[in-house]
Amino acid sequence: MGNIYQCVGRYAQEPYIFRMTMTRVYCIEELCFYMVQNADILDEHFANMELVNWIEDECALPELSKKLKGVLRTSIKPESFVRTILEEICYIDEKEMKELERVIRSGRLLSRKQREKVIADYFFHNKHYALAHRAYEEWLKNNEDADSAEKAAVYKCLGNVYARLFYFADAAKMFDEAYQLCGDEDALLHYLLSKRMELDERGYLNFVKTLPEDQPMLVDAEKQIEKAMEEYKKTESYQQLAGLEKMKLSTRRQDFEEISTWYVDSEMDSFRECMVE
């Protein structure tokens, strides 16, 4: 069971928006969670008067706000600012606090190039795929002097973004770019997987004929597809679709239309969330 936190202050009418990650927080507990989960990207811009005023006005925590103003007068180091908030809320213990401060200090030492990659990865892992796509593209534009391995890693990330959005042709191009840059076998495998998903059976067979006959990755790709299908059949999403299929074939036509409409709408909402910029 996770920790239980006592609610402090009030729920904000207007959220605080972290522009770097486009994340909204509505209460002090959500702010604490954001800080702990994203310690490696908390830089000197994180600690600012706008956030302090939000804590006072929206969260109704004037005493904490007063303490934070004192911190800002003496230091712009984000770890001091973060410690003040987390100690006031009793969110983590001292051992966790010291580790968090270490992560924040390490994050401050990241180069611009490294920080841009971390932010792009943040968007990807939080399913903000449109923002991730833009961030990775900006990284490539801003870091033309990066070495081949670094560029290949970002092209692979772009491939993953496209694949998550079912743009398999574009995903294949990104994985192929990564492979051409540094011969990464994982990029080659994902290139083959993307082509497998992009093409119909005949198209894929024609594609395979263009490859070397002894290409071992072809077998690995097929195994990955089969494994993914087996795992997918165990998911709740698959069970829902299977249930809808049975309902469609039964006499419950009206129920099917209502539930299928709800299901499609919910999937569309999820997709729109991924594409928000």
Q: Does residue 251 surpass a pLDDT of 80? A: no
CA distance 215 to 231: 26
Residue 120's CB is within 10 A of a number of other CB atoms, namely 24
273 or 11: whose pLDDT is higher?
11
**How much is the pLDDT for 186?**
93
Highest mean pLDDT among 166-170, 252-256, 270-274: 166-170
225 or 202: whose pLDDT is higher?
202
- pTM, whole model, 2 decimals? 0.72
Structure tokens at 169: 């042709």
What would the pLDDT profile of 127-150 be if each residue is shown by its tens digit? Answer: 889 989 999 999 999 999 999 999
Kindly indicate the confidence band of residue 277, based on its pLDDT and cuts at 50, 70 and 90.
Answer: low
**How much is the pLDDT for 5?**
46
- Average pLDDT of the residues in 73-102: 91
Q: Does residue 253 surpass a pLDDT of 90? A: no
Q: Does residue 266 surpass a pLDDT of 80? A: no
Kindly indicate the confidence band of residue 54, based on its pLDDT and cuts at 50, 70 and 90.
Answer: very high
Q: Give one DSSP letter per residue of 174-235, joined into a string.
A: HHHHHHHHH--HHHHHHHHHHHHHHS-HHHHHHHHHTS-TT-THHHHHHHHHHHHHHHHTTS
Q: Does residue 23 surpass a pLDDT of 80? A: yes
**How much is the pLDDT for 181?**
95
Q: Does residue 191 surpass a pLDDT of 90? A: yes
- Average pLDDT of the residues in 74-97: 91
Which alpha helices (DSSP H) does the chain contain, by range? 28-37, 49-57, 62-74, 78-89, 94-108, 112-125, 129-142, 148-164, 168-182, 185-198, 201-209, 217-232, 236-249, 253-275
**What is the share, in percent, of the chain residues with pLDDT greater than 70?**
92
- Average pLDDT of the residues in 90-115: 90
